[in-house]
Amino acid sequence: MKICILYESKYGNGKKCVEYLKKLMEEKGNDVKSFSIRKIKPDSLPKADFYIFSSPTHIGSIPWKMKRFLKKLNLEQKTKYSLMATYLGPKTKAIQKMDEILQRKGMLKISDVKIRVNGMKGPLEDGYEEKLKKFAEKIT
Ligand SMILES: Cc1cc2nc3c(=O)[nH]c(=O)nc-3n(C[C@H](O)[C@H](O)[C@H](O)COP(=O)(O)O)c2cc1C
């Protein structure tokens, strides 16, 4: 399966999750590409069977860069996607916000995962690898 991961990550925690997830999925024989949303335009994404969007929580929601990127996306209706978010406090609405934008485009959500960080700049919670393994199993 062709999988495309789009992520934003200010301090690198989300990026670390994306790299780990990419490795897991490649081990299962998938063709996985990942891009920082700072380095790719929303209208020039490679064609894929499945998209994964990953964002940190900023002020309860997602950073404006991610919001703008998702709003400008122009993927076909029924395109399948999953969501990943890193967060510090339990009230994060990052997943809901991303989902809200993509649902409006008629895209199809498959799953999501939230990974906690132990401080603003990390590190990632213990056991994040296990969470990502389960997340990957639901996709491939
Ligand atoms: C400007 C800013 C606002 C933030 N606001 C929240 C917040 O409201 N809730 C929360 O859980 N984490 C908040 N955080 C912490 C981020 O969730 C954390 O830095 C991020 O998940 C780390 O991932 P990254 O290394 O990929 O950027 C905030 C971080 C920044 C920089």
Domain ranges of the chain: 2-139
**Contact call for residues 53 and 86 (beta carbons, < 8 A):** no
Q: Which amino acid is at 66?
A: M
Residue nearest to atom 20 of ligand 1 (CA): 56
- Ligand 1 contacts CB of residue 55 (under 6 A): no
Query: According to the CATH classification, is domain 2-139 in 3.40.50.360?
Result: yes
- Ligand 1 contacts CB of residue 58 (under 6 A): yes
Tell me which of 9, 10, 66, 113 to substitute to probe ligand 1's pocket, judged by most ligand atoms within 8 Å of the beta carbon.
10
pTM: 0.98
Nearest-atom number in ligand 1 for the CA of 13 is 25
Tens-digit pLDDT string for the chain (140 aa): 999 999 999 999 999 999 999 999 999 999 999 999 999 999 999 999 999 999 999 999 999 999 999 999 999 999 999 999 999 999 999 999 999 999 999 999 999 999 999 999 999 999 999 999 999 999 98
**Contact call for residues 20 and 132 (beta carbons, < 8 A):** yes
